[in-house]
Structure 1
Amino acid sequence: MADVPATIAVEVCYARTDRQFLLPLNVATGTTIQQAIEHSGIVGLAPEIDISVWRVGIYGKLKTLDTVLRQHDRVEIYRPLIADPKDSRRRRADKSAKGA
């Protein structure tokens, strides 16, 4: 059996309208998403983040906070939507139809 590394390299990222954060970390094998976010210090840089409510994922796939990370995972923190995507599409379609 291959040796399990003591640490793994991961990234924690978050984007807001005025700034993007991409924080590389080395964490212990077995670290969860929540532990990586806490270890990264990103909440100090972007205090609006509330991981108790906001969604998180790895490479665009939603995950839970207790998901164990693997080497080279990119933890993504997703902001809440400010507009319903269905309503936005409907408004664009209505506007397009009126302009035709």
Structure 2
Amino acid sequence: MKVSVVYALPKEQVWMDVMTDDSATVLSAITQSNIIRLFPDIDLENQKVGVFGKVCRLDTPLKEGDRVEIYRAITWKEDDDDEDDDDL
């Protein structure tokens, strides 16, 4: 069956189609995609994964056409150049 594995960084997004067997899981699709070779900073022990925007476990079974998503930590950094906040 065909599934997709996706990963998005601030300036780069990767979408990989993967042909898997019918017993594929989230982890097996990620492994088969070789996306971790492209992005060695991916840490599946600490990063969340999901299918079509819903967080799930690595052993979640997949269906034809599923989109496996690897989520990165969301961080926010205050913009030091924003002088308008001084007027508050």
What range is the shorter-chain TM-score in? 0.7 to 0.9
Correspondence 1:22 to 2:15: yes
Q: 2:33, 2:40 → 1: CA distance?
A: 13
**TM-score, normalised via structure 2 length:** 0.84
Correspondence 1:53 to 2:46: yes
Deviations 1:50-98 (A, max 9, x none): 1111000011100100000000000000001213xxxx8xxxxxx5xx3
Identity, % of aligned positions = 37
Q: Larger Rg: 1 or 2?
A: 1
- Between Structure 1 and Structure 2, how many residues are aligned? 81
Q: What is the CA-CA distance between 1:12 and the residue it aligns to?
A: 0.1
Tell me which protein shows more helix as a share of its residues.
Answer: 1
Correspondence 1:76 to 2:60: no
Q: 2:75, 2:31 → 1: CA distance?
A: 25
Q: How large is the Cα RMSD of the aligned pairs?
A: 1.8
Structure 2 gaps, min length 5: 79-84
1:28 match: secondary structure: coil
Q: 2:8, 2:39 → 1: CA distance?
A: 10
Structure 1 gaps, min length 5: 1-7, 89-94
**TM-score, normalised via structure 1 length:** 0.75
